[in-house]
Amino acid sequence: MIYDYAGMVALADPTRRKVFELIADRPRSVIDLTRVLPVSQPAVSQHLKVLKEARLVRAEPKGASNIYHLDPHGLGEMRAWLDRMWGDALDAFKREVDNSKEKRK
Amino acid sequence: MIYDYAGMVALADPTRRKVFELIADRPRSVIDLTRVLPVSQPAVSQHLKVLKEARLVRAEPKGASNIYHLDPHGLGEMRAWLDRMWGDALDAFKREVDNSKEKRK
DNA sequence: CATAATCATAAATCATGACTTATGATAAGC
DNA sequence: GCTTATCATAAGTCATGATTTATGATTATG
């Protein structure tokens, strides 16, 4: 199984998940996000940094603002990673069931 | 979007993810897991508790041992939750793209 | 019955990371 | 040019949670 679960870690924090969801709703600037969230602007910036490094969002400078969008590439990668993990887990479970059936014969 | 992301949080810790993967590979006792992992037995038990509360694994007592298996129910629920989240995110992204196309006309 | 093996919980320690308060850098508006 | 708005980074604080040691409970074994 593969290593890259940065996205998982990124989305495990409740505030950061909120940030992600707000951006998923529609692209927003840092100030925009800060206005809605119960944390300071630097806190928001730091969460955005984590999300960006996990390739879940990307920044697009617009004047003095920085508009954050979803990053479809990273999103796709995480999706693929999750699918793989799920496949492995379910395959293993299936093998286990078959195995116990085998034994019962 | 729904609340329940306990599974996400549970799998965000590297040691706990390793525990999950080992169990996915095949059902194991606590001692079995402890032998492989670089942490103490109580640490393993506590990780198992988190995974169990997230309904990713379940325990099956066998003599003095406790064999941990994957929990297909909880696994299915988390899968559904992730699919929903992904659907929402990708739908939102699609709307955004359509929107910018619209504007460009 | 006594000892050994397995496991879970409690309490304490320790590391990580979430958050805050500065602060500086860049861009827009007057 | 000066002020205002937006943002990121640095440094420090604080909370959370991952881990350890100690211990008791349960079950198998001799």
Q: Best residue in A86, A91, A95, A100 to probe B by mutation, most B CBs within 10 Å?
A: A86
Distance, Å, A41 CA → D13 C1': 17
10-residue mean pLDDT series, chain A (105 residues): 73 95 95 96 97 96 95 89 80 65 47
In 3D space, the residue among B83, B68, B76 whose CA is nearest the CA of residue B24 turns out to be B68
SS (H, E, C) A19-49: HHHHHHHCCEEHHHHHHHCCCCHHHHHHHHH
SS3 A62: strand
Tell me the mean pLDDT in the region B20-30.
95
**B9 Cα to chain A: minimum distance (Å):** 5
Do B5 and A11 lie within an 8 Å CB cutoff? yes
Query: Does residue B92 lie in a domain region?
Result: yes
A6 touches chain B (CB under 8 A): no
Alpha carbons B15 and A39: distance in angstroms, whole number: 30
B67 inside 8 A of chain A by CB? no
* Token pair recorded at residue A67: 């508009």
pLDDT tens track for A69-86:
999 989 988 888 888 888
CA→C1' distance for A57 and D12 (Å): 28
B interface test, pick of A96, A98, A100 with most B CB neighbours within 10 Å: A96
Domain harbouring A21, CATH code: 1.10.10.10
Q: Do the domain assignments include residue B86?
A: yes
What tens digit of pLDDT does each residue of B77-95 get? 888 888 888 887 777 667 6
- Distance between alpha carbon B1 and the CA centroid of its chain, in Å? 18
What is the domain range of residue B18?
Answer: 6-104
Across all strands, nucleotide nearest B48 (CA–C1'): C8
Decide: B22 and B35 in contact? Cβ < 8 Å: no
Calculate the average pLDDT of chain B: 86
Residue B53 placed within a domain:
yes
Whether A61 is in a domain gets the answer yes
Q: How far is B98 from chain A (nearest CA, A)?
A: 12
User: What radius of gyration, in Å, describes the C-alpha atoms of chain B?
Assistant: 19
Q: What is the spatial distance between Cα A91 and Cα B7, in angstroms, rounded to a whole number?
A: 19
**pLDDT band at residue B99 under the 50/70/90 scheme:** low
Which residues in chain A have Cβ-Cβ distances shorter than 8 Å to B17? 5
Ramachandran quadrant class, B6 (left: phi over 0; alpha: psi -120 to 50; beta: rest): alpha
Establish if B1 belongs to a structural domain: no
- CA pair distance B27, B49, nearest whole angstrom: 16
Distance CA A20, CA A55 (A): 11
Q: Is the CB of B37 under 7 A from strand D?
A: no
User: What domain count does chain A have?
Assistant: 1
